[in-house]
Amino acid sequence: MRGRYAFCAWSVLAIAAQPVGAQERDADVLRPGEVRLSAGAEMWHIDSRFAENGTTSLTPELEIELTPSTLAGFNAIATLLTGFLDETNDLPEAMPVDSSTLTAGTLSLDAAFSVRYLPIQLGVGILPRLEIGAQLPVYRTERLFRDYSLSGGNVGINPDSLANTELLTGISEAGAALAGGPLLPVTGSPLAVELQQRVLALTGDRLQLPDSAVTGPELREQFPVLPPSHNLSLWHPGDLEVGARLRMLDNFGAAPFPALGEGGVHYRLTGFGAVRFPTGVRPLPDYNIGSPPPAGFGGGRVGGVGDLFLGERVWISGGGSLQTLGGADIEVFVPGENGPYSEGSSIATVRRDPGNEANLWILPRFRLAPTISIGATLRSERVSDGSDEFAGVEMPLEGGSRHSAGIFFRYTMLPIPPEGGLKLDAAVGYTGAFAGSAGVDAPSTAYFQLTLRRLFRRSTPQVE
């Protein structure tokens, strides 16, 4: 059981691409009576993993030789071939041949995994220095094999199953079933040469054999090869988070940032915390190909974020958070005893206990104009060890780390004047992972976030 399940636990614990536009990007806290509504669109794309040196594909454990023992259904063809050879071993022309050398070839894959993620956030200022809020995302996932090729095979598609069957009907039961099957040895291969000699001795005629080996798409038509070549889920909700932000320290008041023309050094520090409810749905089974959002896990998150304003144009934000998730039952792909395409491969339910996740980030920015700024994103993520429990066996999931960098542009109409009004804030950007532990996915993310803020009642000066 451990050997069979090792495939599922092969990779480092999946570190899902976390929301980018929705992360705690600065230490601003809403004033009493102020409301913030944010909606975003994020596209996560994953087509590689980090390795000891550079990156590798998402599917190294799926790229195996397809033989009668490793490909479900292929063993039936090998059995028929063995049966026919055994029936005809007493022919004078018969020569020893090993039917176990039958192979469809070594499989090569090029897979990609993407997530379309739409975070929706609501924040309300209720007291000086304190706001409460909630976040509920919706998302869909897509898994796609862009290339599915075979090399080194010695079987191909039967070019004329009807004529081949008629040739051996009444002469050899195993031979007739083999001749009418979907695959036959390729012309010129040792198996094909011996097969033709025996058929010629029995019938005086030859089988119609394939001239080339079976291709990946042709093989998919003949056998239910897992995992599916393409999965596109419906839209599903993620996990609901309800939390609060508390501004603990600052030296310039409640404005989002100093106005242009205001020099000096300004700073502020805000703490935050959130409770996570397992409202999310995981739309696709986990095939260990790409990292879906960790939906369906309850837990909590705490952290802090600070801003440092150096004069009127340079602004640096930085922070960190720690997230703890409880266990949840999820569906995963479990391979058979002889690999992911062999008999016994199935979708099973396992109990996953993910490890704790720590995040650190820093966002240096430069204000080009009162409403426009450009900035960079540097981020580091670390997940501690977790575990999966399957059929009463607990398997460890190794932790790992990932580091990302990116760039973004921001347009803002802030600050809101004391008399109130509706203001717009928008950001667009891109981040990409550049380093990580072996086995961790290397995602790239493009995002857009739109925020509307309104002060619904006249603000009175705050005593800081």
**Whether the predicted pLDDT of 395 surpasses 80:** yes
Element (H, E) at 77: helix 74-87
- Which of 42, 108, 29, 100 has the alpha carbon at shortest distance from 67? 100
pLDDT tier at 403 (50, 70, 90 boundaries)?
very high
Q: How many CB atoms lie within 10 A of CB 349?
A: 12
Specify the CATH number of the domain 12-58+112-149+237-455: 2.40.160.40
Domain ranges of the chain: 12-58+112-149+237-455, 68-102+154-213
For 34-84, how does the pLDDT look when each residue is reduced to its tens digit (9 = 90+)?
Answer: 999 999 999 999 999 998 888 888 888 888 899 998 888 888 888 899 888
Q: Average pLDDT over the chain, rounded to whole? A: 85
Cα of 457 vs its chain's centroid, Å: 45
SS3 225: coil
Lowest mean pLDDT segment, chosen from 122-126, 179-183, 242-246, 284-288? 284-288
pLDDT tier at 464 (50, 70, 90 boundaries)?
very low
**Whether the predicted pLDDT of 11 surpasses 50:** no
C-alpha neighbours within 13 Å on the C-beta side of residue 173? 0
In this predicted structure, what is the pLDDT of residue 255? 62
Say if CB 233 and CB 215 are below 8 A apart.
no
pLDDT tier at 19 (50, 70, 90 boundaries)?
low
Distant-in-sequence, close-in-space partners of 133: CB < 8 Å, separation ≥ 6: 36, 121, 122, 123, 124, 242, 243, 244, 245
In this predicted structure, what is the pLDDT of residue 8? 47
pLDDT tier at 417 (50, 70, 90 boundaries)?
low
In this predicted structure, what is the pLDDT of residue 98? 76
- Which of 236, 214, 231 has the alpha carbon at shortest distance from 223? 214
| Section 220-239 average pLDDT | 80
Token output for 307: 């801003």
Distance CA 3, CA 335 (A): 10
pLDDT tier at 5 (50, 70, 90 boundaries)?
very low
Lowest mean pLDDT segment, chosen from 4-13, 235-244, 368-377? 4-13
In this predicted structure, what is the pLDDT of residue 258? 62
Question: What percentage of the chain reaches a pLDDT higher than 90?
Answer: 44
In this predicted structure, what is the pLDDT of residue 9? 44
The model's pTM is 0.82
In this structure, the strands spanning 346-353 and 328-334 are antiparallel
Q: What is the CA radius of gyration of the chain?
A: 30
Distance CA 281, CA 302 (A): 23
For 301-332, how does the pLDDT look when each residue is reduced to its tens digit (9 = 90+)?
Answer: 999 999 998 887 888 999 999 999 999 898 88
Say if CB 440 and CB 15 are below 8 A apart.
yes
For 146-180, how does the pLDDT look when each residue is reduced to its tens digit (9 = 90+)?
Answer: 888 899 999 999 999 999 999 999 888 888 999 99
Residue 278: cis peptide before it, omega within 30 degrees of 0: no
Beta-strand (E) ranges in 335-420? 346-353, 357-367, 372-383, 386-390, 393-397, 400-412
Phi then psi for residue 77, to 5 deg, are -65, -40
**Whether the predicted pLDDT of 295 surpasses 90:** no
SS3 184: strand
- Which of 252, 426, 243, 268 has the alpha carbon at shortest distance from 321? 243
**Whether the predicted pLDDT of 30 surpasses 80:** yes
pLDDT tier at 458 (50, 70, 90 boundaries)?
low
More confident: 7 or 59:
59
Element (H, E) at 167: helix 161-168
**Whether the predicted pLDDT of 134 surpasses 70:** yes
Token output for 19: 């929301």
Question: What percentage of the chain reaches a pLDDT higher than 70?
Answer: 88
Distances in whole angstroms, Cα of residue 395 to Cα of each of 271, 358, 387, 391: 36, 22, 6, 10
